[in-house]
Structure 1
Amino acid sequence: MHLPVCLAHVYQCKVGAQVDLRVGGDYFYDPQPGEEPPTNLLLVAGGVGINPLMSMLSHVHDLQQTATTRSMCPNKVNLMFSAKTKEELLFRKRIDKLCNMKSNNMSSMYFITEETAGNGDNTVYSRIKEQHIHEVTDRLKPGKVECYLCGPSPMIASIETMLKACGITETSIHYERWW
């Protein structure tokens, strides 16, 4: 197995040395038949952190397509996606398509941090702030809200603090630690 030059240099690997690699993690939304699904689902992504959350959003959509799996779906799903520029909003067309399907009961908000323009078309030109988290969690309550976060470490810490200030319990906040 060949390691990238930077890793090979750090670990002083030799031909024939055993190398253990870990790729990905245990971060997914996969309700099982018979399990009670969360009442509502909040997904918060920063940059490329949208990747696992896009998979979750697509999975919920797929579950909603058949009567046998529809009962496993949350009532509402809200996605908050932050990126530096509008061009960095990966999957935006797909997200919008899913959220525009009335039967999905999904909604999205986009946050742009390094461009300025007027707010509109569910796009806010700022970082995600506590007022945004309050607005979304208020729409998702009453009932249980499960939150999935993925993005840069400082963003995850900040969003987790805001969610707790909104009354979301620590056991309902899940995040990917890939840093």
Structure 2
Amino acid sequence: MLVIGDAAHATMPNHGLGAAMATEYAYVQASLLTEVHHASELKAAFQAFEKVRLYRTQKVLLDEIALHPHNSGHNSIEACDMDQFEQHLHAIIGLPLGSCVPATLVVNVLGDATSSEDVSFSLLRNSLKVPGTAAHFYGTAGVRIGRQLGHMTTTAPSLKELTKRPTAFSPEAAKNSGLLKLQ
């Protein structure tokens, strides 16, 4: 289950609590959904969730429901003590959940009309010069508009520290190059 909402992102001002809250929300929703045996019962399950969620969340949007951890959990690779698959197992069997890094930035590298493979992949390589950054290359052959070529994750002990880090993939660099789209 992919939970989207104002308190569901570890990169926002919850200072690391966002991912834990999102995991908790996903666990609560998954628990409620295990009682759903027919599509007509979905609305009641989500209404029950609305009654138990924390007050900080203004709204929760469901982008996708999957019967397994989501395959694009980029943030969970570097930003969590355990990846989303292990976290999922812990939630199911009632073990303590892992903690998260206080501040994380994930940038997807997408191809566009002006991209070349060399330029896009050099952005990924250059990101490795940024402290606390990991680059993930997907081995994508060729560049097409909107095709995801990889992603970069930067972690830091605080949001303040994260914003100080020099990056080859800052919003300004993304805007100026046209090669990166922040997601």
If the length of structure 1 is used for normalisation, what is the TM-score?
A: 0.30
If the length of structure 2 is used for normalisation, what is the TM-score?
A: 0.30
